[in-house]
Structures are given as structure tokens and as C-alpha cells.
Amino acid sequence: MANDFDFMLIADVLPTLLQYLPITLEILVWSIFFGMLLGIVVALPKLLDIPVLKQIVSIYISYIRGTPILVQLFLVFYGIPALLQIIHIDVTRMDAIYFVIITYTFSNAASFAEIFRAAILTVDRGQIEAAYSVGLSRMQAFIRIVLPQAIRVAFPNMTNTMISSLKDTSLAFSIGVMDMVGRGETLIASTTRALEIYLALSIVYYVIVIVLEKVLKRNERYLNRYMQKEVATS
């Protein structure tokens, strides 16, 4: 029968889909990297209790959390060219992948800002005061005392954000980026085998998530190695 499920098609299309994996990973890596940098900047007004900026940051984080990533993607894709057109800058021919990276950077930054802020607030204030008392500057105390502990506390939530961002990259095709899902859509159009193609895509994403989880878990254990030693010797 023409509609029989075709197991072999799944194996056949997997290599084709994997050819577009680098595009998916490129979106993930750059959006995570820039998202972390922007997240630190966004977290500062709340940490330092800066008037006005603190309220602006809160609205930004609330807006990102309260709107679907797909809507944000279209807002960036259509909104940035419209805004730049006001000052006579034409970016309509810019590769769509850059709009995807910008969108996920803003989205990830909101998550990382809250993660970093919460992690930094867990560090005992007494340790910071002790660092000041032995002559460390504010920056030195942050880098040597606060940051290592905050990263260890924040890392599990950072892991969850990275994995969620990986799955969100599947929406990039909606503005014309030819990633794995985009290639899958073209395969569906040519083969009319939607179930097999989507199942193949799910397998690829699942394997990537499992590998990413294992890598990040190993890094988490490395960050917690000294605490584990203290527990073992106590």
C-alpha cells in the first residue's frame, strides 16, 4: 500500500538531515555565547539596584518570558529592518540566520540574567566582606570569590536553558533558514512522507540532546569536584 509506514526512508533521510546539523549548532553556540554576555549586562541593574534601569530590565525579562519564541522571531525578522529603514539602513537582504541568532540571544539573555542574579545572591555576604578585609578590590573579590561559587550554583539551570534553546532552534525554518527542520520540510514536500521525516528529525534531536546532557553533566561534576571531596572526607 502507498500509505504503509516506510522504515527504510528514515534511515535514508538521516544522512541528509545531518548535513544541516552544523547550521543548527551554529545558531545554538552563538546565541548561547552572546546570550550569556548580554545576560550578565542585564543582571547588573538588579544586582546593583540601579533605579529606572532595574525597572526596564524587569519589563524586558517579563516580556521575553510572557511571549512565544516564534512571535519574538517574527518581531525581530520584520521589526529590525523596519526600524533600521528609518535611518536609511537596508538589511532586508541579510541572511535570515542572523535574525535567528539575534532572537535567541535576546531570549537566552533573559533566562541567563535571572540565573546569574539568583546564583550570585546565594554567595554568603560574609565571604565578600572577608575578601575586602584582606585587601581585595571589588572586582578581585567578584572574580576570585563570588564568580566560582555562582557558576557552580548556576550551572544546572544554565544546562536546562541550553537544552531548551537547542530545541527552540527548530523554529528557525519559519523565516527561511535551511536548518535540519527546513531540510525536513523540503523532504516532506518531495516525498509526501511527513511521519517518517518528522520521526527522523526527532531521532536526531533526541540524540543531540542526550550527548549535550552528558557533556554538560561531566562539566558540572568537574565544577563540583572540590565539594565532592569535602563530602567524602567529612
Is residue 45 a contact partner of residue 57, using CB atoms and an 8 Å limit?
A: yes
Query: What's the pLDDT at 227?
Result: 55
98-133 burial, b at 16+ Cβ within 10 Å, e below that, comes to bbbbbbbbbbbbbbbbbbbbebbeebeeeebeebee
Query: What's the pLDDT at 124?
Result: 83
**Separation between Cα atoms, residue 194 and residue 202, nearest integer Å:** 12
Contacting residues for 224 by C-beta, under 8 A, at least 6 apart: 152
Query: What's the pLDDT at 3?
Result: 64
Domain ranges, ordered by start, for the chain? 1-20+178-234, 22-177
**Separation between Cα atoms, residue 171 and residue 73, nearest integer Å:** 9
Query: What's the pLDDT at 234?
Result: 45
Q: Which CATH architecture has domain 22-177?
A: Orthogonal Bundle (1.10)
Question: In a structure prediction context, what are the per-residue pLDDT tens digits for the chain, which is 234 residues long?
Answer: 446 788 899 999 999 999 999 999 999 999 999 999 999 999 989 988 899 999 999 999 999 999 999 999 999 999 999 999 999 898 888 999 999 999 999 999 999 999 999 998 888 888 888 888 888 887 888 888 888 888 888 888 999 999 999 999 999 999 989 999 999 999 999 988 899 999 999 999 999 999 999 998 888 888 777 555 543 444
Q: What is the 3-state secondary structure (H, E, C) of 149-211?
A: HHHHHHHHHHHHHHHHHHHHHHHHHHHCCCCHHHHHHHHHHHHCCHHHHHHHHHHHHHHHHHH
The burial of 134, by beta-carbon neighbours within 10 Å (0-12 exposed, 13-18 middle, 19 or more buried), is given as exposed
Contacting residues for 100 by C-beta, under 8 A, at least 6 apart: 27, 31, 73, 169, 172, 175, 177
Query: What's the pLDDT at 5?
Result: 81
Contacting residues for 42 by C-beta, under 8 A, at least 6 apart: 57, 60, 61, 109, 110, 112, 113
**Separation between Cα atoms, residue 22 and residue 28, nearest integer Å:** 10
Grid cell for residue 138:
571589588
